[in-house]
Structure 1
Amino acid sequence: MTRVAVIGLGNMGGPMAVNLASAGHQVQGFDLSAPARDGVAGHGVTIAADGRAAVAEADVVITMLPAGAHVLACYQEILSAAAPDTLFVDCSTIDVSSSREAHALVGKAGHRSVDAPVSGGVVGATQATLTFMAGGDAGAVAAAEPLLTVMGKRTVHCGGPGAGQAAKICNNLILGISMIAVGEAFVLGERLGLDHQALFDVASTASGQCWALTTNCPVPGPVPTSPANRDYAGGFASALMLKDLGLALTAAGENGVDTVLGRTAAQLYTEFVEKDGPSRDFSAIITDIRSEERTHGQH
């Protein structure tokens, strides 16, 4: 049994905390949101009075927070309350610079740290099938892995501090761009009179094969579990895709990489989120591709 503090009990952190408790670990959780706290209460997670109280007796501290500023502020508040050599595992998706700064803060306070952003969404968090992209010292990653295995199905050690975040934003840069390409192909197929299933059957077994097509197909039918079959409810929210594209563009700018397709994808998702709302699955961008405005070339 490991004593674990989980700070950030939202759509991702909440199910992760519950899975740890279900596996027999002693879990103390905290979130500024009362509904988030209420969501895990009664599922084996003890709610702490605040973040410092949550980490005071923890062996491992897991954070799942919205942005780098939140992680840094949280660490500045809680690090001095933790016992020496506590392991801090940040599962948030944040910018690489903030992640490296967080590692430095943890090390200066006498603790160990891992950045371990996730892939798999709310379904993966609930079903404990997440993939973790880990960055940090090999010993710290090895120490975190038993808990990561409870919450997910795979951990990839990507390198030193911040490498997990780097892998996450590079992966989602690919994903955001490829979903737009898949959406454009299906809309073109529709105009050419091509059946959705026929296009899927060809592309999914030919050179157009990709995750955006075979797992998260943006049209209903070919992949029954894709959000397109639920009017794009659930899945990976468009606002989160836009956030990750922004992180990728920031990193690209800081490192002199001209991501032409990344900039274009971010622009298209910005416009889509502004007029369609941020909560629909990112594959719903096909509805914007299909719209009269896009068809008539106003973008």
Structure 2
Amino acid sequence: MFDSARALHFFLLAALANRQRFFDLNQILEAALTSGSARNSVSSPSASSIRLLRIASGRLPQLLSPAPGRPVLKLMGRDVLHMAATGSGALIKLINNFVCGVQAASFGEALALIEHSGLNREQALQVLNDGAPGSPLVKIMSQRMTSRNYDDVNFALQLMLKDLNYANKEAGAPGVRLNTGLAAAEVFDRARERGWGKKDFSSVVEGLR
């Protein structure tokens, strides 16, 4: 889950290194990046675990196949996917982070409820992790929130809050209301106000403890 500035930085470096001209006055290439491997998302994603979500251009086929576009883009990530019109890459990235943010916020609330209710935390987490809620992200959140290790930042809490707010705003254009997204943003904002903004987004639970 990379922010757009960092994605652009990777894109420009890759293009320069391969001496390819990716855009001119008539060509624009959008490249949204997100982490594509749950097992690697505990730490900073490596190039092999980054998924390039989307490429768009006025002359997309010429950029992607056979060259120059695809070889350079493959240096940036594992998967190169065409997501249609310009803006689609940014939108699917927001939707991706919206789903991740909602999962993290809801699991943080679940953990706070477990801790405050007096349940055996290890047993309760075993039920959640081994049952239907046990997505790869939930299992990572379980590890981080119980160890309270937020210094190894995969994605900063303040960036997740930013993307949740953007997703909530974008959803209004087609007339969709992201109720869970709005609620998750409130939970993340509470943690940010308590000083966790620059820590990993799993620290969202600290606003609930």
TM-score bracket for this pair, using the shorter chain length: 0.7 to 0.9
Judge conservation of contact 1:115–1:161 (CA < 8 Å) in 2. yes
* Match of residue 190, structure 2, among 271, 274, 277: 271
Residue equivalent to 1:178:
103
Q: TM-score, normalised by structure 2?
A: 0.76
- Paired with 2:140 and 2:64, the residues of 1 have a C-alpha distance of 29
Kindly state the Cα deviation for residue 249 of structure 1 after the two structures are TM-superposed: 1.5
* Match of residue 112, structure 2, among 178, 183, 187: 187
Q: Write the deviation string for residues 10-44 of structure 1: whole angstroms up to 9, x where unpaired.
A: 69936994xx5xxxx8539xxxxxxxxxxxxxxxx
Runs of 4+, deviation exceeding 6 Å: none
Kindly state the Cα deviation for residue 145 of structure 1 after the two structures are TM-superposed: 2.8
Report the AA paired with residue 242 of structure 1.
L
SS of the residue aligned with 1:234?
Answer: coil
Kindly state the Cα deviation for residue 277 of structure 1 after the two structures are TM-superposed: 4.1
Residue equivalent to 1:204:
129
Does 1:117 pair with 2:32? Answer: yes
| Count of aligned residue pairs for this structure pair | 193
Distance change >3 Å, CA 12–CA 26, structure 1 → 2: closer
Judge conservation of contact 1:131–1:153 (CA < 8 Å) in 2. yes
Residue equivalent to 2:156:
237
* Match of residue 27, structure 1, among 17, 22, 27: 17
Distance change >3 Å, CA 187–CA 277, structure 1 → 2: closer
Does 1:13 pair with 2:4? Answer: no
Residue equivalent to 2:22:
87
Kindly state the Cα deviation for residue 211 of structure 1 after the two structures are TM-superposed: 3.6
- Paired with 1:16 and 1:192, the residues of 2 have a C-alpha distance of 51
SS of the residue aligned with 1:204?
Answer: helix
Judge conservation of contact 1:238–1:273 (CA < 8 Å) in 2. yes
Judge conservation of contact 2:194–2:207 (CA < 8 Å) in 1. no
Does 1:155 pair with 2:80? Answer: yes
% identity of equivalent residues: 22
SS of the residue aligned with 2:83?
Answer: strand
Report the AA paired with residue 210 of structure 1.
S
SS of the residue aligned with 1:145?
Answer: helix
- Paired with 2:16 and 2:88, the residues of 1 have a C-alpha distance of 29
- Paired with 1:205 and 1:12, the residues of 2 have a C-alpha distance of 38
Kindly state the Cα deviation for residue 287 of structure 1 after the two structures are TM-superposed: 0.9
Map 1:58-137; keep pairs closer than 5 Å: 58-59=19-20, 86-88=21-23, 109-111=25-27, 113-120=28-35, 123-124=44-45, 126-137=46-57
Report the AA paired with residue 27 of structure 1.
A
Judge conservation of contact 1:16–1:151 (CA < 8 Å) in 2. no
Q: Write the deviation string for residues 35-67 of structure 1: whole angstroms up to 9, x where unpaired.
A: xxxxxxxxxxxxxxxxxxxxxxx52xxxxxxxx
Q: Which has the higher strand share?
A: 1
Aligned Cα RMSD in Å?
3.0
Higher RCO structure, 1 or 2 (CA under 8 Å, sep 6+): 2
Q: TM-score, normalised by structure 1?
A: 0.56
Kindly state the Cα deviation for residue 285 of structure 1 after the two structures are TM-superposed: 1.0
Distance change >3 Å, CA 170–CA 15, structure 1 → 2: closer
Does 1:280 pair with 2:204? Answer: no
* Match of residue 164, structure 1, among 75, 89, 101: 89
Distance change >3 Å, CA 231–CA 172, structure 1 → 2: closer
Unaligned runs of 5+ in 1: 1-7, 29-57, 60-85, 89-105, 222-227, 291-299
Residue equivalent to 2:38:
none
Judge conservation of contact 2:105–2:205 (CA < 8 Å) in 1. yes
Which structure has the larger Rg over C-alpha atoms?
Answer: 1
